[in-house]
Amino acid sequence: MPLLGGIEAGGTKFVCAVGTGPDDFRAETRFPTTTPEETINQAVAFFKEQAQKEPLAAIGIASFGPVDPNPASPTFGYITTTPKPHWAQTDLAGALGRALGVPVGFDTDVNGAALGEYRWGAAQGLDTFIYLTIGTGLGGGGLVNGRLMHGLIHPEMGHVRLPRHPDDPYPGACPFHGDCLEGMAAGPALQGRWGQRAETLPLDHPAWEIEAHYLAYGLVNFICTMSPQRIILGGGVMEQAHLFPLVRRKTQELLNGYVQSPEIIERIDRYIVPPGLGNRAGVLGAIALAGQEIK
């Protein structure tokens, strides 16, 4: 199996790794996302150093977005309209491909992670499932009928609108929509609503019940539109493992017995789950995207 590189390009940090899968994971580095030039140069330096030991056959990039994932488009491999300063219209895949001289697989962070979970993690054997990340942003991807979800551009599951929690006056953090799902439930929304970082909120804080409200409404919409066989929830905010039972219970309550599947009614613990690949889901997904380039 030829050696592959992967980049999980997040809004807060980049994770770069080389290997061929979870059992052959040879090196990893993490660094903060600063300017495109500085961040891309750091990634290039890591892969050049690794390639001295054994050349890379391809790299994969699973990126925060919005991105252009259409190989037929002139802006394929770009991060497009992101509000993140300096990063709009950045040719991420092109810059890395030119610097490293290898083919580049490119998709959204969540489609990448979904592909990794499908190959090696919590979605093995399924053909329709969703992977959501709740981190700096909130995004969803996955497979439908065995294929990664694309389409017009790619899904933007974080930007659906939901009923507000009755005790929540927070206006929302999305620069485009205010109180969409991302605006109410991604990491920056928790920080904006409570004035402290999500990772510092105690377990008994009312934040978590409100968080579960928004996440469960989002999941109900996705269950009703895509009929996923499983939902994987990753990203920094979901490191709060106590959120899982809250989200599962609220999702069941909102569906109110209408979607007649034992997965939801009897086995919800196995239906709404953390990534099987843990916090390596993103970067292993990027390696899985690289693998698609050499077949």
Q: What residue 36 binds from ligand ADP, Zn ion, none (CB within 5 to 8 A, per partner kind)? A: none
- Binds ligand ADP by CB under 6 A, chosen from 5, 235, 274, 291: 235
Q: What residue 180 binds from ligand ADP, Zn ion, none (CB within 5 to 8 A, per partner kind)? A: Zn ion
**Using CB under 6 A, which residues numbered 11 to 50 contact ligand ADP?**
11-13
Contact flag: residue 84 with ligand ADP (CB under 6 A): no
Stretch that binds Zn ion, among 171-179, 229-237, 242-250, 263-271 (CB under 5 A): 171-179
Tell me the CA distances in angstroms from 174 to 84, 161, 186, one per residue in order. 11, 11, 9
Distance from chain centroid for Cα 260: 28
* Rounded Cα gap, residues 55 and 47, in angstroms: 9
Contact flag: residue 284 with ligand ADP (CB under 6 A): no
CA atoms 154, 158, 159, 160: torsion sign: positive
- Binds ligand ADP by CB under 6 A, chosen from 98, 197, 242, 270: 197
From first CA to last CA, the distance across the chain in angstroms is: 11
When the beta carbons of 10 and 77 are compared against ligand ADP, the nearer one is 10
Least separation in angstroms between CB 71 and ligand ADP:
24
List b or e across 109-133, with b for residues whose CB sees 16 or more CB atoms inside 10 angstroms: bbbbbbbbbbbbbbbeebebbbbbb
Tokens, residue 85:
């300063």
Give alpha helix (H) positions in the chain.
Answer: 36-53, 92-100, 109-120, 181-185, 187-194, 207-226, 243-255, 262-265, 268-271, 281-292
Give the angle 134-34-28 at the CA atoms, nearest 5°. 70
Tokens, residue 174:
């999305």
* Other Cβ atoms closer than 10 A to 63: 30
Contact flag: residue 177 with Zn ion (CB under 5 A): yes
- Binds Zn ion by CB under 5 A, chosen from 84, 119, 150, 159: 159
Contact flag: residue 184 with Zn ion (CB under 5 A): no
Stretch that binds ligand ADP, among 141-149, 211-219, 235-243, 254-262 (CB under 6 A): 235-243
Q: What residue 159 binds from Zn ion, ligand ADP, none (CB within 5 to 8 A, per partner kind)? A: Zn ion
Stretch that binds ligand ADP, among 53-61, 96-104, 234-242, 259-267 (CB under 6 A): 234-242
* Tokens 């809250």 -> residue: 246
Q: For residue 284, give the 3-state DSSP assignment.
A: helix
Longest dimension (CA), the chain: 57
Closest listed residue to residue 14, CA positions, set 83, 79, 102:
79
Contact flag: residue 96 with Zn ion (CB under 5 A): no
Q: What residue 177 binds from Zn ion, ligand ADP, none (CB within 5 to 8 A, per partner kind)? A: Zn ion
- Binds ligand ADP by CB under 6 A, chosen from 66, 121, 135, 158: 135
When the beta carbons of 197 and 267 are compared against ligand ADP, the nearer one is 197
- Binds ligand ADP by CB under 6 A, chosen from 36, 65, 69, 236: 236
Contact flag: residue 237 with ligand ADP (CB under 6 A): yes
* Other Cβ atoms closer than 10 A to 81: 12
When the beta carbons of 36 and 183 are compared against Zn ion, the nearer one is 183
Where along the sequence are the contacts to ligand ADP (CB under 6 A)? 10-13, 135-136, 187-188, 197-199, 235-237, 239-240
Where along the sequence are the contacts to Zn ion (CB under 5 A)? 159, 174, 176-177, 180
